[in-house]
């Protein structure tokens, strides 16, 4: 039981305590002696540890006060070390440890359309609108497909105007990511139709900071660029996609998305490649479909679609 006391206490009183313990064992019952020793350990050991700790702390404090310059340097080095360790752990936690806030993220892929006509362009080019809708029709290796465009709009309120990240998305985005609103509903295919009432889904952060976490927020009006949108859903706290920390957007100024709107396109935008315009595509692969298998299929599909462009604008490929 002596091991429960501080080392200094054992060195000073250990021999005497062992002698007293041995003498009591000769005169009294073993049960009584062991019980008293255990009770003394519980009551005395914490007090001795605290006493030595306070004594050491006072001694160290006096030493540090005698050398304020050394103390300042030591504290600064400790602060830098703790700050650096915290930053590194935060990065590892976000990138390696913490799981993505999507269902089965290992089956999610970006679908890009690199253009071989210009060498300096990155591979991460989003598809044109007609290509995306033809992918929906011709590809079979994915269980769902989604397209979005991100940007900024002005959010008006009694507190003034705030610029917020906004994404115009197909109704399939939340299904593809397997994320459901915590309040209300996700977009329906009918929400994408031109002429339908303007609806919006907001982030948990926007709901709490600008709308007071009002549980009756559904149905309220949201002013974006002086247009009114009806709130139909509130996303979970961790969901803010698309955002700049995603690997596909290393230079994006959009740190996070706080409002989602239905992506509304007319018939010409969906079919006429001369109009131009596109977005970012995400696919969820079917179970037991490997990335390489999906890549082969998409490359073959895009090779067919490339022929629909004018001869001087061909050279589009697929990259998952």
pLDDT of residue 116: 87
Q: What is the pLDDT of residues 35-69, one digit of tens each?
A: 877 877 777 777 777 877 788 788 877 877 788 88
Backbone angles phi, psi at 262, to 5 degrees: -65, 140
Are 146 and 292 part of one and the same domain?
Answer: yes
- Residue 230 placed within a domain: yes
CA distance 242 to 150: 7
Are 35 and 137 part of one and the same domain?
Answer: no
Alpha carbon distances (Å) from 10 to 3, 19, 43? 8, 13, 16
pLDDT of residue 117: 82
pLDDT of residue 89: 79
Are 116 and 61 part of one and the same domain?
Answer: no
Are 114 and 251 part of one and the same domain?
Answer: yes
Backbone angles phi, psi at 309, to 5 degrees: -85, 160
pLDDT of residue 284: 95
Are 289 and 158 part of one and the same domain?
Answer: yes
Are 112 and 61 part of one and the same domain?
Answer: no
Are 242 and 303 part of one and the same domain?
Answer: yes
- Residue 72 placed within a domain: no
Are 8 and 110 part of one and the same domain?
Answer: no
Are 298 and 210 part of one and the same domain?
Answer: yes
Q: What is the mean pLDDT of the chain?
A: 86
- Residue 149 placed within a domain: yes
Q: What is the pLDDT of residues 226-275, one digit of tens each?
A: 899 999 999 999 899 988 767 565 566 778 899 999 999 999 999 998 88
Are 117 and 59 part of one and the same domain?
Answer: no
Are 136 and 235 part of one and the same domain?
Answer: yes
Among residues 278, 319, 302, which one has the least CA distance to residue 170? Answer: 278
- The least confident of 65-74, 75-84, 130-139 is 65-74
Domain count of the chain? 2
Alpha carbon distances (Å) from 301 to 134, 145, 309? 9, 15, 14
Q: Which residues span the domain enclosing 227?
A: 105-313
Are 304 and 232 part of one and the same domain?
Answer: yes
Show the CA angle centred on residue 200, arms to residues 194 and 204, nearest 5°. Answer: 160
- Residue 95 placed within a domain: no
Asked if pLDDT for residue 129 goes beyond 80, the answer is yes
pLDDT of residue 213: 92
């Amino acid at each position: 039981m002596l091991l429960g006391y501080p080392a200094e206490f054992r060195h000073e009183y250990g021999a005497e305590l062992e002698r007293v313990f041995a003498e009591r064992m000769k005169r009294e019952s073993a049960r009584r002696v062991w019980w008293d020793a255990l009770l003394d350990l519980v009551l005395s050991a914490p007090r001795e540890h605290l006493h030595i700790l306070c004594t050491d702390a006072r001694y160290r404090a006096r030493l540090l006060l005698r050398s304020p310059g050394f103390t300042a340097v030591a504290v600064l080095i400790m602060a830098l070390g703790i700050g650096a360790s915290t930053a590194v752990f935060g990065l590892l936690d976000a990138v390696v440890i913490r799981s993505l806030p999507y269902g089965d993220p290992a089956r999610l892929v970006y679908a890009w359309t690199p253009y071989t006509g210009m060498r300096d362009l990155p591979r991460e080019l989003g598809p044109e609108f007609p290509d995306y809708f033809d992918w929906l029709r011709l590809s079979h290796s994915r269980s769902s497909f989604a397209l979005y465009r991100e940007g900024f709009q002005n959010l008006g309120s009694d507190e003034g105007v705030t610029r917020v990240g906004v994404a115009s998305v197909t109704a399939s985005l939340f299904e593809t990511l397997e994320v459901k609103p915590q309040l209300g509903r996700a977009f329906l295919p009918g929400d994408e139709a031109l002429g339908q009432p303007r609806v919006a889904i907001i982030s948990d952060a926007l709901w709490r900071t600008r709308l007071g976490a009002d549980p009756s927020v559904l149905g309220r009006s949201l002013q974006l660029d002086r247009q009114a949108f009806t709130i139909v859903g509130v996303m979970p706290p961790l969901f803010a996609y698309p955002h700049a920390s995603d690997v596909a957007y290393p230079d994006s100024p959009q740190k996070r998305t706080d409002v989602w709107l239905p992506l509304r396109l007319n018939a010409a935008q969906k079919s006429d490649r001369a109009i131009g315009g596109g977005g970012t595509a995400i696919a969820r692969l079917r179970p037991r479909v490997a990335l390489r298998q999906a890549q082969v299929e998409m490359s073959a599909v895009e090779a067919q679609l490339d022929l629909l462009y004018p001869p001087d604008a061909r050279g589009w490929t697929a990259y998952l």
